[in-house]
């Protein structure tokens, strides 16, 4: 692969970045844009016409949806099963309660105190989501609102990279905020990825770089998408055990895995697991970089040291659902 070119555009509430050979970049970007529009049309929490909104507003009735939405719900339910319910797709109501009720740029940066915490359901509500595969229908119980946010964006990265690479027969990298997926032939030395807390950080800004030859990397952080209510800082990573933003020792978690969905699941789980995250990641063979609240980086399960030229290896790191 020769020199690379890149383009970016707003999508899914973040910035989409596409990297490929110059001759194929335009065609690859067109494919990526179509995939992202399909995900937004089906999975957006902020579109009244999305499949997700129709399911949430159906009052517990079966709703006929696009097959893509069924796939997105399946990915979200697999995330919940693989993490013991920590990565929970039924936190839509909790997101509304903490003020994340519109596209992030339009959330007021401050406001009055949050309402008193409602009693949280003891039973895992994600187990109550039903799918009829033969009819392409989904049902959520009354009072349960889906939010596929993170896993749907990661699914979009996986689908966009694979479809773009297949369409133009070259290697393609797709980045959606902290979710990065690659497909096709990697450049010599691999795809160079900056390990940063803010996805908007320029690649040439300096910092820790890794090389990715296949698979994906996802980063979850409590440092972005922040706002306050009555002077109390809030963020978008909600702990289903409390219905409130997570408050653990890690401010950022980056994970390499076979797919962006798997990497995203593990990165989000690591933030929520807190001090138990390292052992959990090692047990699953997931290379990760955890950054503490104080800014100290801990490398887990083979995440390369910045002084080395090693490659983050996602080939065997695939999330498994416990039997």
**DSSP result, 30-70:** HHHHHHHHHHHHHH-TT-TTSHHHHHHTSTT--EE--HHHH
Integer Cα distance of 99 and 119 in angstroms? 18
Instruction: Give all domains of the chain, ordered by start, each with its CATH number.
Output: 45-148 (1.10.3980.10)
Which of 154, 148, 177 is CA-nearest to residue 88? Answer: 148
Q: What is the bridge-based pairing of β-strands 63-64 and 130-132?
A: unpaired
Cα angle at 80 between 79 and 82, to 5 degrees? 65
Number of H helices, E strands in the chain: 7, 17
User: How much is the pLDDT for 195?
Assistant: 78
Q: Which residue matches tokens 């950022």?
A: 252
User: How much is the pLDDT for 308?
Assistant: 57
User: How much is the pLDDT for 204?
Assistant: 60
User: How much is the pLDDT for 88?
Assistant: 94
Asked if residue 48 lies in contact with residue 102, where contact means CB atoms within 8 angstroms, the answer is no
User: How much is the pLDDT for 199?
Assistant: 60
Mean pLDDT per 10-residue segment, the chain (323 residues) = 85 94 96 98 96 97 98 98 95 85 81 67 78 98 92 98 96 95 94 75 68 94 82 82 88 96 97 96 96 94 74 53 38
Q: Which helix (H) or strand (E) holds 305?
A: none
């Amino acid at each position: 692969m020769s020199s690379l070119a890149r383009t970016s555009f707003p999508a899914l509430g973040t910035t989409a970045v596409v990297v490929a050979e110059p001759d194929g970049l335009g065609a690859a970007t067109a494919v990526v844009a179509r995939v992202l529009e399909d995900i937004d049309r089906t999975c957006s929490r902020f579109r009244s016409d999305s499949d997700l909104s129709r399911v949430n507003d159906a009052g517990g009735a079966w709703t006929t949806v696009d097959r893509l939405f069924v796939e997105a719900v399946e990915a979200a339910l697999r995330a919940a099963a693989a993490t013991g319910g920590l990565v929970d797709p039924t936190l839509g109501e909790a997101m509304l309660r903490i003020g994340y009720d519109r596209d992030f740029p339009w959330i007021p940066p401050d406001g009055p105190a949050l309402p008193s915490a409602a009693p949280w359901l003891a039973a895992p509500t994600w187990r109550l989501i039903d799918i009829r595969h033969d009819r392409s229908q989904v049902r959520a119980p009354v009072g349960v609102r889906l939010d596929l946010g993170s896993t749907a964006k990661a699914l979009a990265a996986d689908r966009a990279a694979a479809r773009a690479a297949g369409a133009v027969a070259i290697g393609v990298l797709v980045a959606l905020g902290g979710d990065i997926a690659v497909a096709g032939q990697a450049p010599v030395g691999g795809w160079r990825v900056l390990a940063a807390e803010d996805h908007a950080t320029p690649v040439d800004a300096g910092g820790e770089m890794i090389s990715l030859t296949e698979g994906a990397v996802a980063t979850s952080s409590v440092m972005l998408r922040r706002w306050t209510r009555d002077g109390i800082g809030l963020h978008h990573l909600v702990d289903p055990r409390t219905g409130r933003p997570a408050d653990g020792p890690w401010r950022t978690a980056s994970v390499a895995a076979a797919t962006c969905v798997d990497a995203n699941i593990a990165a989000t789980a690591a933030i929520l697991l807190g001090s138990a995250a390292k052992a959990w990641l090692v047990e699953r063979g997931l290379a990760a970089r955890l950054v503490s609240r104080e800014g100290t980086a801990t490398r887990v399960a083979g995440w390369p040291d910045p002084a080395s030229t090693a490659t983050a290896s996602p080939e065997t790191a695939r999330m498994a659902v416990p039997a």
